[in-house]
Chains A and B, each alone.
Chain A
């Protein structure tokens, strides 16, 4: 089932929290809504669920306009951060809730509850109460409860952020497996964590300040971000203020060779280079600077190198003999690893 936002605007007491969102999620697709808190991503999800009413615009599910339907007539599954399992019901009663509410036959309920619990690996816990389960187990039950009604659309609102880091990566793999098992279920996944979005999503919609900033596959957004916000929010990036020249750009007094086809010579622009694509030592596009800070991160070293008036970040494989603070080092990066973006707020 597809989801379509048609110029959806939501306002609370005059504050616009979602500004004319246009977005289509294809049937069976996993779309991540990625953005910082207050970016409007959760509001967009709640507009699909029916908990917020758009001031203008329409929400369509599978081509049907549901803007004026109450939540209980929309048939979407929803999983929220705090699980919201009914504390007074056992696990199987929680999972059966949606089926009972719509008057499904008893035998059918039993079958579907067993199926949903099997799918999430919670069959052994059917007769427990939610408070007897760990956070990860509660999250599985919440997913089973949402899947039991066989929704065409599954809404996930920061489903992993209440879990600790180790559990989170496990659940991420589980969600990916669930999606392979249920290829027809369209998922809208709200998160502020780029790793979750990159791992799980077919496409990512990046949101900031109530607006959609960019939308594309993880690879597109990562390799060729459209603007500074997307570049820094998806994956983290060096955003270097540059002046466009004839065959490259000027940065801190050095000429850097990059593709300038899209830019006008003489204009100011931002050069985006991922830290892990910056190498230490001689190579093409050399930058020389002084190490301001060096952090050991296990498999890598993160260097902050002062080049001119700017810090350049470089993530390099763990060094046997790392440079010290104040040492002069040379950095380099390949021309096709750099993307030229329009000058933004980061321009100094």
Chain B
């Protein structure tokens, strides 16, 4: 323990709360509160109602939720496949090759999402790959954006994987493809699910590239939230935001359950 005096400790905790609560807890509580209200012009919201949620779970909003879930699921699966493939291929490269591969796959983190959106728009607005105006361009951009994170976390897990397992498998007569399916991938499963959760959450909240690309019939939740706040409908926008957070958390929770099962099998 760093601070021994009881008074000093309490003082520190007080400072912690004063910083932590308004900065981190308050925003989430405020959005939650607003989603249940119709007015907010004093300390507490007023005009409590569930109407915001009624509209946030049907029609346009429900469509957007479905759009977001499908986009996130699609992008996560594609990103996980590409990222895992690259991570596994990178592990058997020599040092310099691995470094180049890592740098290439981390590049999308450094490039602004808006620019990724713009570049995809520029590249796929004309034949041969005319994707502009379809849902695929949104899913594609999300995939590009989250692949970097999938690659990074799987790549770290591959490095941590004890080579003794694959060597034991090889000495027992298993060829590399069999070792991959029966030993390496199962051992990587906890990290793969963690990476999937991360990709999903990032894609659910993606706004920058989506704003550049979304066609009218494929409007994800963040865009809908922006549209609502832009026209001043802050309270119904909050309800949609709470739906977004809840959906994200639910999926993350489900994924972490899978992960616990996988690591204690």
Q: Hey, which bits of chain A sit against chain B, CB under 8 A?
A: 49-51, 70-78, 80, 82, 84-88, 97-98, 100-102, 129, 145-146, 149, 155
Which residue of chain A is the closest to B162 with respect to CB atoms? A84
| Interface size range on B against A | 20 to 34
Given A75-B173, A149-B173, are A84 and B178 also a contact pair (CB < 8 Å)? no
Residues of B within 8 A of A75 (CB): 173
Q: Is the CB of A72 within 8 A of B170?
A: yes
CA distance A149 to B171 in the complex (A): 10
Chain A proximity mask over B171-192: 1 for CB below 8 Å, otherwise 0: 1111110100011001101000
Residues of A within 8 A of B171 (CB): 49-50, 71-72, 74, 76-78, 146, 155
- Beyond contacts A75-B173, A88-B189, A101-B172: 19 other A-B pairs, Cβ-Cβ < 8 A, are A49-B171, A50-B170, A70-B170, A71-B171, A72-B175, A76-B171, A80-B167, A80-B168, A84-B168, A86-B165, A86-B169, A88-B186, A88-B262, A97-B169, A98-B174, A101-B175, A102-B173, A149-B172, A155-B171
Q: Is the CB of A97 within 8 A of B187?
A: no
Residues of A within 8 A of B172 (CB): 72, 77, 97-98, 101, 145-146, 149
CA distance A70 to B176 in the complex (A): 10
Q: Is the CB of A84 within 8 A of B164?
A: yes
Q: Is the CB of A71 within 8 A of B170?
A: yes
Which residue of chain A is the closest to B176 with respect to CB atoms? A72
Q: Is the CB of B187 within 8 A of A98?
A: no
Residues of A within 8 A of B169 (CB): 86, 97, 101
A-B contact pairs, 8 of them (CB 8 A): A70-B170, A72-B172, A78-B171, A80-B167, A82-B164, A84-B164, A88-B262, A149-B173
Q: Is the CB of B164 within 8 A of A72?
A: no
Given A97-B182, A129-B265, are A84 and B175 also a contact pair (CB < 8 Å)? no
Residues of B within 8 A of A101 (CB): 169, 172-175, 178, 182
A294 → chain B closest CB, angstroms? 45
A283 → chain B closest CB, angstroms? 53
A91 → chain B closest CB, angstroms? 13
Which residue of chain B is the closest to A148 with respect to CB atoms? B172
Partner of A87, one of B173, B176, B182, B187: B187
Q: Is the CB of A88 within 8 A of B162?
A: no
Which residue of chain B is the closest to A77 with respect to CB atoms? B171
Residues of B within 8 A of A98 (CB): 172-174
B3 → chain A closest CB, angstroms? 39
Chain A proximity mask over B19-47: 1 for CB below 8 Å, otherwise 0: 00000000000000000000000000000
Q: Is the CB of B164 within 8 A of A97?
A: no
A64 → chain B closest CB, angstroms? 16
A71 → chain B closest CB, angstroms? 4
